[in-house]
Amino acid sequence: MDDPHYMNNVRYDRQLRIWGEHGQRKIEGCKVCVLNCGPTGSETIKNLVLAGIASYTLVDNTVVEESDLGNNFLVNEADLGRGKASTVAANLQELNTSVAGSFVDESPDDIVHNNPAFFESFTVILATQMSLRNLVALDVICRQVGIPLVALQSYGLTGTIRLSLTEHTVLDAKPEESDHDLRLSQPWPELCCFVQQFNLSTSDDTTVRQVPHVVLLLQAALQWRAKHSGRSPEDHISQKAFKDSIRTSQFTLDEENLREALESVRHVWKPHTVPPNVKKLFERIEVDNLTSSTPNFWFQVAGLRAFLVDSGGIMPLRGDIPDMASATESYIALQRVYREKAAVDAAEVHAHICNFLHGAGKRGETFSLKDTVSFCRNAANLQVNHWITLADEAAWKSDCSKNISCQLAGEDTQSCAALYLILRAVDSFKEKYGRAPGEVAVLPTALLLGAAKDDMAKIDISRLRIILHGILSELGLSKLGLFDDLIVEFVRSGGCELQTVASMVAGIGSQEVIKLVTQQFVPCGKTLVYDAVDSAVLSIM
């Protein structure tokens, strides 16, 4: 059980079940650049190394100090005085030998301002503990070359996670609630032929109870439509009558498949329309202006739209069915009918995609049929996400001022909004004075009990209060009293990076990185604030 190769295989199998083969391939091709190797950066890249990324590059010009021993698990006492980037890289290599690691002993801030081309070869840039000014400059660089930026910060009992990129497409949103597409309101010929093979009127009770409920529903639906000019039950009265017809049919036994049929009866009249989120994608200019530089996603969307024209507006079938109370042979046969239809639909979509690829000067082989099958399975949940620039957020543009004001006024959002604002004030403090508030003189615990205050701490509290007052005035707010305890706490923190908070921020941050890389799940579209005191996480702005 301690064999690293065995553990890597177990980890890989688990990840394959979560992300799938397509997602895992993207993770294995991911190249991550980490700026600053403190607890937050080290914990985040540790998670990604265990996930099996291709490589990482650590950028940090500091050395391991005694203060690092208590909050960074990837350094130890023997590393004191050594370069932090090289030390962390060496220890990461032991966790997963299949991941290539390297380090650069330079200041991340210097590289951002003097060598922007350095970042062009990476898949994701992971920036930790950086000032807002430098993050704004880095964001400009990343957006120019189309590389996602993930900015993480841990400060005392608070942390933030911020993603930034121009556009991100989600191929597999994995919604918490999704309904199976049984297509009983618009069945295709092969499904009708399969259902008609079951002669329920002459079957005994034992045979009937082993019939999949899809068969019971579709046979009843076909009979109903034959008596009602081909129409399905359309209103509440007719739908109730349809349910009653099933209850009073020859199936008098209260069997599980009959209960399943009644629970799934909505599929008989369920409309099959194109989801609004997909319609919006069809309106994008990229779909009508496909070129050799257009991302594959828009060729897929164009292929889907062409398929819908041929199918009369019916989305490609997903091909999966729910578990059913039935005989194993009948269930497997029914499952095969759905999968074969899904494969046919995917092949038609793929043909359209290949035609568009050839028309734009791309080879059809650049996109596989397996990728199209995965795309069609998740076509109803396609999404395109956008993020405002960090420059706009820093300047309170793009409704940032309005949003933070509303959240500061809300009872449920006030605490995290206040933490976000005071972190902005702390960033300004560090820019102005070259250190974190309280970093020179750590406030004693007696301060909170009303005892004599340290002179330096009093000065920092006053300075931080003035800066925060300026930010609130800029936003048209006057709730400075709300921040009194927070100001004292942030000065008392002295810029420390607690390992527990860093681990939480790193856990969320690494998940967001994998979301971006695999295009699975929906990434956070705003600045995420973590409050360790109340164990609360909230999206701000």
How far is it, in rounded angstroms, from Cα 459 to Cα 450? 16
Nearest to 271 by CA among 223, 225, 234: 234
Nearest to 445 by CA among 487, 484, 492: 492
Strand partners for 300:
none
Termini Cα distance of the chain:
46
Buried b / exposed e across 219-256, counting CB within 10 Å, b at 16+?
bbbbebeeeeeeebbeeeeebeebbeebeebebeeebe
Q: Over 60: is that where the pLDDT of 441 sits?
A: no
Does residue 439 or residue 215 have the better pLDDT?
A: 215
pLDDT value, residue 13: 65
How far is it, in rounded angstroms, from Cα 269 to Cα 225? 11
How far is it, in rounded angstroms, from Cα 36 to Cα 38? 6
Q: Which two tokens stand for residue 431?
A: 């820019």
pLDDT value, residue 254: 63
Lowest mean pLDDT among 3-7, 122-126, 270-274: 3-7
Q: Over 80: is that where the pLDDT of 16 sits?
A: no
Return left, alpha or beta for 398; rule: phi > 0 is left, psi -120 to 50 is alpha, else beta: left
Q: Which two tokens stand for residue 516?
A: 């971006």
What's the mean pLDDT in 256-267? 89
Per DSSP, the three-state class of 267 is helix
pTM: 0.87
Give the chain's domains with CATH numbers: 4-172+498-540 (3.40.50.720), 189-268 (no CATH), 276-385 (no CATH), 395-493 (no CATH)
Helix (H) or strand (E) holding 536: strand 536-540
Pairing of strands 31-35, 55-59: parallel
Q: Are 40 and 15 in contact (CB under 8 A)?
A: no
What's the mean pLDDT in 443-470? 72
Q: Over 90: is that where the pLDDT of 82 sits?
A: yes
pLDDT value, residue 283: 95
What's the mean pLDDT in 211-219? 92
Residues in the chain: 541
pLDDT value, residue 446: 47
pLDDT band at 245 (very low <50, low <70, confident <90, very high): confident
Express each pLDDT in 183-208 by its tens digit: 999 999 999 999 999 887 766 667 77
DSSP state of 157: T
pLDDT band at 442 (very low <50, low <70, confident <90, very high): very low
Express each pLDDT in 31-77 by its tens digit: 999 999 999 999 999 999 999 999 999 999 999 998 888 899 899 99
- Mean pLDDT of the residues in the chain: 90
